Amino acid sequence: MKTLRLILGDQLNSQHSWFQNTNNEMTYCMFEMRQETDYVKHHIQKVIGFFAAMRAFAVILESQGHKVIYYKITDDNNTQDLTKNIETLINEKNIESFEYMQPDEYRLDKQLQDLCNKLSIKTNAVDTEHFYTTRDELKSFFEGKKQYLMENFYRHMRKKHDVLVVSDQPEGGKWNYDKSNRKKWKGDEEIPHYKSFRNAVDEILNDLEAAQVKTFGHFTTKTFSYPIDREQALEQLTYFCEQLLIKFGDFQDAMHTEEEYLYHSRISFAMNIKLVSPKEVVDTVIDYYRAHKSEIDISQVEGFVRQILGWREYMRGMYWALMPDYKSENYLENSNTLPEFFWTGNTKMN
């Protein structure tokens, strides 16, 4: 059966079951679209990062024998609309089945559901195989409870996934070392240089200019320093473990005008576009800690795990539990427009 499979820009998971075998009847499609660059104004670095990683992923899939249709932002046959691009390909390629991974945005989820409801061919949505939890797991966990406390959910996740626990009790004697994670950075010791890459993005910059995509922020180089493929993401993770984990927890909440990153991992972008999974990030960090217990205190590790297994999964669950009303909630009743410094970054704040 001739099948078209959609890959969104934050679904670059080469470990997904979709990609483990090739099939001549299977075609993957990826689109750079004005629909996505224009629904809100994005930072220039975000758009560049997404397009660079998407283009790299398409090349990798093709090198593995998969059939890929890729539309760049400047391609003439790109309608710049997700629904229209898919419908056009279905008609042109005589597609008999359409499949997609569940999006992480309500907006896209509804768009794809609406599309599938009007298509006359077989359709199917699959899990991204990325998160620890399902979309509805947090909502089910808190059903009947008055408050959605992150700490309760975090402890549940630690036990469920056997992360830093011994016989259902926290390893080290505490569930949370947050009080140890609030030190101020005073600049009295040298921080290892952050890991960066020199991914050429000249072509993308030219394409964005030609397409007149409106962004905010600045991009002053012609290389992108964050990981754009799985190999680079794993390099980034290894560097964090070897060079930065030892002091991460101490200064995870600190900021300083002379240090951009302190001891942070810079792995969030790679995780958010699914080059690596939260589980493999957490497992890698814990394995490194266990091999270096004499050097690394558990508070450094727990502080990192809490951000991923706790806050990241919790906020995703809250999003799906409360959408679509969540989008328009305004608890503090703010009505003013955002100040100019929100877009320029020129403030007197740290």
Cα distance between residue 121 and residue 7, in whole Å: 19
Which residue would you say has higher pLDDT here, 315 or 344?
315
> Over the stretch 189-239, which tens digit does the pLDDT of each residue have?
788 888 999 999 999 999 999 999 999 998 988 899 999 999 999 999 999
- Range name among 118-122, 258-262, 264-268, 300-304 with the lowest pLDDT average: 258-262
pLDDT of residue 185: 85
Half-sphere exposure of residue 344, counting CA atoms within 13 Å on the CB side?
A: 7
Q: What does the DSSP assignment read for 1-53?
A: --EEEE--TT---TTSGGGGS--TTEEEEEE--HHHHHSS-EEHHHHHHHHHH
- Taking residues 110-133, what's their average pLDDT? 98
pLDDT attached to residue 258: 83
Task: List pLDDT tens digits, range 23-49.
Answer: 999 999 999 999 999 999 999 999 999
Residue 184 pLDDT: 87
**If you classify domain 3-126 with CATH, what class do you get?**
alpha beta
Per-residue pLDDT, averaged over 5-29, amounts to 98
The confidence score (pLDDT) of residue 220 equals 87
Would you say 97 and 122 are in contact if contact means Cβ atoms under 8 Å apart? yes
137-325 has the same fold as 3-126: no
**pLDDT tens digit string along 160-198?**
999 999 999 999 999 999 888 888 888 877 888 889 999
Neighbours of 41 (CB within 10 A): 14
pLDDT at 350 over 80: no
Instruction: Identify the pLDDT of residue 178.
Output: 86
Q: Which two tokens stand for residue 34?
A: 């004005």
Please state the domain extents for the chain. 3-126, 137-325
Q: What is the pLDDT at residue 110? A: 98
Q: Does domain 137-325 have CATH number 1.10.10.60?
A: no
